[in-house]
Amino acid sequence: MNELKQAIEHQREYLEERLHEPLSGIAARLVPAWPRREELDSILEDGIRRIPEATFMYALNTRGIQLSDNISRSGVLPEHFGRDRSQRPYMKEAVPADGFLLSEAYISLLGRRPSLTALQLVRDDNGRALGFLGADFDLRNLPDLSEDLYEESSEWRQIKGDPSIRGTLFQQSRTESLMDRNMDTALAILEELFTERGVFQGVFHFSSSRATLWTTEDPYRYRILTHESLADPDVCLAFPHEPYPEEALIPQRDIGRVLDGLRTLRFADDTVYLRSASLNLFNGMVSLTFSCDGSHYMTSEEFLGRSIEFWLGATG
């Protein structure tokens, strides 16, 4: 999860730099008007025009009670005057020494939208805390530091599933599926589709005998192959020939080995067995979901480097 956390923190740092100075300037202008409602509203109406991304701005006393109306770019919302915000998530966070806080994201009460709030401490000329300037932001209105999506981690990840399934694991056993009966044919078809027919992502549902596939030619739509298709090599003709992608992180020669490894895990044990799996060429990852509902995500290289004894012990 490091890449995801780093991407979030990088974006938050950018927003803090962008918002701190203008909010600090507006807070300083509020001091002479404190705590008079109409004067605070007037300053905030001018202030929100300087921060076009803000949804609402308002002034709070140190107890979190609203001293102003909610100010939006479209006008004043007087029904929020006197509102107690002390229990909102942003009021429970510790304000840093510089008096500026950019809250963690939360779901707004009114719009039910992912949002965050910036709080700027308002101090008088003697440094005494008068209250806070608050500015609410809808995440969709905030500027992005970068249009690049974070890179998914390739580190091994294990995720526990439904406790009720784990609790009854030893009361169940694998029932032979239609795909199990034709496993050799199904895996040969899947190998052809991945190595020669443009499929780059696949989810294999062994227990329910189907595969969901994505192709490089049409990556935004998936195709579902049922057990009938997975038992008929003619299905390969429905997928045009495509060269194996140069950007793939899984070597072409390893596709068959990975699929063979999935077959082994499917039949290795009647209690702890592979229920479903996925394969993605471009991030080089294999995922496994077992009968205990536990899931593993790892690189194909790591997958191929593990013995069957490891898997039966890890899932159990």
- Would you write out the chain's pLDDT as a tens digit for each of its 316 residues? 577 788 788 888 888 888 999 999 999 999 999 999 999 999 999 999 989 889 999 999 999 999 999 999 888 999 999 999 999 988 988 888 889 999 999 888 878 889 999 999 999 989 899 999 999 999 888 877 555 665 666 676 776 755 645 555 555 777 889 999 999 999 999 999 999 999 999 999 999 999 999 999 999 999 999 999 999 999 999 999 999 999 999 999 999 999 999 999 999 888 888 999 999 999 999 999 988 767 899 999 999 998 877 877 655 4
Neighbours of 10 (CB within 10 A): 12
Bridge partners (DSSP) listed for residue 106: 115
The continuous run of DSSP H or E covering 203 comes out as strand 199-205
Question: Residues 213, 281: contact at Cβ < 8 Å?
Answer: no
Cα gap 118→134, rounded to integer Å: 6
Helix 255-267 to helix 183-196 angle (10° resolution) is: 150
- Cα–Cα distance between 298 and 262 in angstroms, integer? 13
Three-state secondary-structure class, residue 100: strand
Name the nearest CA neighbour of 291 among 310, 258, 267, 261.
267
With beta carbons less than 8 A apart as the criterion, state whether 41 and 68 touch: yes
Q: Give the DSSP letter of residue 78.
A: G
Nearest to 256 by CA among 193, 307, 204, 305: 193
Distance CA 102, CA 204 (A): 43
CATH of 2-141, one of 3.30.450.20, 3.90.650.10, 1.25.40.80, 3.40.50.300: 3.30.450.20
How many Å apart are CA 132 and CA 86, to the nearest integer?
12
Beta strands in 177-301 (DSSP E): 199-205, 210-215, 222-226, 274-280, 285-290, 295-299
Kindly calculate the radius of gyration of the chain based on its CA atoms and give it in whole angstroms.
28
Tokens of 77: 């919302």
Residue type, 170: F
Tokens of 236: 């390969």
Q: Could you count the other beta carbons within 10 Å of the beta carbon of residue 7?
A: 16
Domain with CATH 3.30.450.20 in the chain: 2-141
- The first and second tokens of residue 253, run together, are 């020669």
For residues 230 and 212, the answer to whether their CB atoms sit within 8 Å is no
pTM of this structure: 0.71
